[in-house]
Amino acid sequence: MELSRIAETLSPSQVVGNTAVEISDLAYDTRAVSPGALFFCVRGARFDGHELADRAIDAGAAGLVVEHPVASRVPQLVVEDSRRAMAAAAVEFFEHPSDELEVAAVTGTNGKTTTAFLLYSILDAAGRKPGLLGTIESRVGGEIRPAIRTTPEAIDLQRTFREMLDIGDRSAAMEATSHGSELGRLDGIRFSSLAFTNLTQDHLDLHGTMEAYFEAKRRLFLDGRPPAAINVGDPWGRKLAEDRPDAMTYGFADDAELRPEALDGIDLKLKGGFNLENALAAMASARLLGIDDEAIARGLETVDGVPGRFEAVDEGQPFTVLVDYAHTPDSLENVLATAREITSGRLICVFGCGGDRDREKRPIMGRIAAELADVAIVTSDNPRSEDPGAIIDEIVAGIDRDAEIVQDRRSAIAHAIETAEPGDVVVIAGKGHEQGQQFRDRTVPFDDREVAREALRRLGAATT
């Protein structure tokens, strides 16, 4: 594609050099630049892409998209926002893939991953040949790939959509995040359906306020006004529905169009009231896509679990161990309330909070764990650049009784399992499916499920 065509799409404020040059690819990372690529100089948290322009050119970049002219021997398109321009250019370069691909998206604080898995299963049951884009993994043409981020950068996202089409997928279930909205990654997508699950405190390190967080979600429903499914049992969903009176509503609210009774007769394997809402979100989205209820039922019944979401770890022990991604106050409360329903003994919770993220939720999560669990063990999550001990102190500030503190996460999980008794339920919350633990200078392999399994096996060996 010629650079002049991309220039027409972006309407740059200034063009430096001759745009009659062929562009063979798009890139925002110098490590991904190939000969003939158009390189987007994006400002990031650690690097400013404008300072990497020479490196991109040396790697073969045939043009640049910049927010201000830089010294360069290749043509440049000067735009107001390189990141937003990246999305518009990617849609054009990859030939508007979501015009052909049926994109069924889910947004909200909690429930996105499970709902996307349910939607994928329904799409598959309906013969829609789906792909998947989400927190845990991606699926392209049936191939499972690790997820780098929940909502990929615009270039990666549009490239994947095009790849899905080329390989034979005809639909895609995806998670649409507030980061993806705020950073322009979702710009230009034509959603065939868009579901809103809920909004609870999270990501305030990025958005600042709940109102700004909500606005990042809200704009997805107003730009192009895609067919929408909204949980009106959630107060923010109720507010969103005022902007979209044409939306299909669902949830536990008395006036919701789809209520839990709609699931009667469906053998739903997933446990908990929050998963009833997730199933309703998937059902509402599927109906918006014109999928019949028989296929919806088959799809919902096929899913017997989602990795790292209320996932049981069973090594024959006389108590239950559950691993869940719950890392927000609302999700932790939901998981502990559901775990309590199946507990005949004590409810033990191992949890922490991530570093470099919303600090306000730390004491709130401490309070919730202390109130809902019989034993709350506070540990490290992904401390990132922060001091793990300082994070724990902020969590414990919300606990009005003595809390057990075991900073090392592996030791905390082992301690919970070693002290569990028959009939107890151990909930290991916060990391779910994640495969590593992030520290200031390194990421070490760490999977809560495997760490729990190892502790259970040691316990079993010790008792034989």
- Same domain? For 345 and 404 the reply is yes
Residue 197 inside a domain? The answer is yes
d(CA 312, CA 318): 13
- Same domain? For 42 and 129 the reply is no
**Whether 42 contacts 52, CB under 8 Å:** no
DSSP 38-56: EEE--B-SS-BGGGGHHHH
Residue 89 inside a domain? The answer is no
- Angle, helices 361-372 vs 329-341, to 10°: value is 10
- Same domain? For 59 and 176 the reply is no
- Same domain? For 55 and 114 the reply is no
- Same domain? For 241 and 369 the reply is no
Q: Work out how many domains the chain is built from and give that number.
A: 3
**Whether 308 contacts 449, CB under 8 Å:** yes
Residue 90 inside a domain? The answer is no
Q: Which helix (H) or strand (E) holds 459?
A: helix 448-462
Phi-psi region of 11 (alpha: psi -120 to 50; beta: other; left: phi over 0): left
Phi-psi region of 205 (alpha: psi -120 to 50; beta: other; left: phi over 0): alpha
Residue 69 inside a domain? The answer is yes
- Same domain? For 271 and 373 the reply is no
CATH number at residue 324: 3.90.190.20
- Same domain? For 191 and 239 the reply is yes
- Same domain? For 296 and 320 the reply is no
pLDDT at 184: 93
Regions of the chain where pLDDT drops below 70: 201, 203-205, 207, 463-464
- Same domain? For 71 and 17 the reply is yes
pTM of the complete model: 0.93
d(CA 12, CA 463): 71
| φ, ψ dihedrals at 162, nearest 5° | -65, -40
Residue 92 inside a domain? The answer is no
**Whether 200 contacts 109, CB under 8 Å:** yes
Domain boundary among 279, 302, 325: 302
Residue 87 inside a domain? The answer is no
- Cα angle 26, 27, 30 (rounded to 5 degrees) comes to 150
DSSP 294-334: HHHHHHHHH---BTTBSEE--SS-SSEEEEE---SHHHHHH
CATH number at residue 188: 3.40.1190.10
Name the residue range of residue 48's domain.
3-82
Domain boundary among 251, 285, 302: 302
Name which of 70, 72, 93, 83 is nearest 7 in CA terms: 93
CATH number at residue 14: 3.40.1390.10
Q: Which two tokens stand for residue 36?
A: 């003939």
- Same domain? For 140 and 237 the reply is yes
Name which of 458, 384, 388 is nearest 418 in CA terms: 458
d(CA 192, CA 263): 23
- Same domain? For 272 and 175 the reply is yes
- Same domain? For 128 and 276 the reply is yes
Q: Where are the alpha helices (DSSP H) in 173-267?
A: 178-182, 204-207, 210-222, 235-243
Domain boundary among 58, 82, 106: 82
Residue 88 inside a domain? The answer is no
Phi-psi region of 423 (alpha: psi -120 to 50; beta: other; left: phi over 0): left
Residue 355 inside a domain? The answer is yes
d(CA 395, CA 176): 29
Name which of 335, 336, 387, 326 is nearest 361 in CA terms: 326
Q: Where are the alpha helices (DSSP H) in 136-245?
A: 154-167, 178-182, 204-207, 210-222, 235-243
